[in-house]
Amino acid sequence: MPWDTTDYPSSLKNLDTVVRKKAIDIANAMIDEGYKEGQAIPIATEQAKEWYKNASDNEKNEVKQMGDEDLKARDDNPQDSRPELLEKGEHVISHEDGWAVKTQDARRSSHVFDKKEDAIKRARKIAENKQTSVIIHKKDGSIQDKINY
């Protein structure tokens, strides 16, 4: 069952409302991707705090306006749950808007950054949490480096 603003993990209760909503949204998405609650909650909390530091006022306002139906709105198609991605490495790849972090075999990037260093930092955190690897690509797509956890 997805979390919302009235039913969420107690560890989120002391967060600012906008950060809490973002954490709930991220955690719900992670659960849909196959993460266990014990993994999703701390990762979502960290990501929400990081997002808040970098979000524009407009982005913060959009999350503030989110209702419970927005937080719970997930595709209920079980084929979209991708627990197999938990075992896949994170790739840092060139993106039209900078540098993206994308799990191997994922349908889309999870994060996009202006700077490659920021994308590498995020990919390392994800891979460390999952105990997988980071594959860093050059702009031309060739592999620059690989880090195992």
Taking 80 as the threshold, does the pLDDT of residue 77 lie above it?
no
Cα gap 71→104, rounded to integer Å: 26
From the list 87, 83, 71, 78, the residue with the least C-alpha distance to 35 is 83
| Per-residue pLDDT tens digits for 90-109 | 999 999 889 999 998 887 78
Burial class (CB in 10 A: 0-12, 13-18, 19+), 52: middle
What distance separates the 2 farthest-apart alpha carbons in the chain? 47
Grouping H, G, I as helix, E, B as strand and the rest as coil, residue 16 is coil
From the list 69, 76, 75, the residue with the least C-alpha distance to 4 is 69
Q: Summarize the confidence of residues 15-42 as an average pLDDT.
A: 86
For the entire predicted model, the pTM comes to 0.51
How many helical (H) and strand (E) elements, i.e. helices and strands, does the chain have?
Answer: 5, 5
The pLDDT value recorded for residue 75 is 44
Q: Which residue has the tokens 């979390």?
A: 3
Taking 90 as the threshold, does the pLDDT of residue 45 lie above it?
yes
Highest average pLDDT, of 8-12, 56-60, 90-94, 127-131, comes from 90-94
The pLDDT value recorded for residue 3 is 87
Cα gap 78→136, rounded to integer Å: 31
Cα gap 7→16, rounded to integer Å: 16
Tokens of 3: 């979390």
Cα gap 12→45, rounded to integer Å: 7
